[in-house]
Amino acid sequence: MKRVLTIIAALATLVVVVYFAFIYYVPFSEGMRSGELIKISHKGVIMKTWEGELSQGISGAQIFTFSVLDADKQVITDLQNLQGQYVKLSYVEKYRTFSWWGETRYFITAVQKEKSPFNQN
């Protein structure tokens, strides 16, 4: 009986480890989005996460919400410095997220300043 319980516990542990590894390492999609960076904030009560918004339209009707992992310090700094400007964001979409990662499934991996197509100066 003890052996059966040990095997069940080991299998359950293996399933949990494989699930977390899959969620962490396997992206659903990767891509880039451009627009005006309108928000970057560090929010939360118990688990603070970095969240942001990118406006992809003139009217603000197309808002891309995203998260940034705490480990990406350079990305966070770049986003803070470029707030209010036109940027291109590289992102990875995960299958799921966890509350300590962020609110969205989209995680920014790189930021580049871009020339706005709306300013024809």
Q: Which pLDDT tens digit goes with each residue over 74-91?
A: 999 999 999 988 999 999
| CATH number of the domain bearing residue 41 | 2.40.50.140
User: Taken in order 120, 57, 79, 106, is the CA torsion positive or negative?
Assistant: negative
CA-CA-CA-CA torsion sign (70, 71, 74, 75): negative
pLDDT tens figures, 39-49: 999 988 888 89
84, part of any domain: yes
Look at residue 56 and tell me if it is in a domain: yes
Q: Which domain holds residue 89?
A: 28-113
121 against 32, higher pLDDT:
32
Are 102 and 91 a contacting pair, CB within 8 Å? no
Predicted confidence (pLDDT) at residue 67 exceeds the cutoff of 90: yes
Total tally of structural domains belonging to the chain: 1
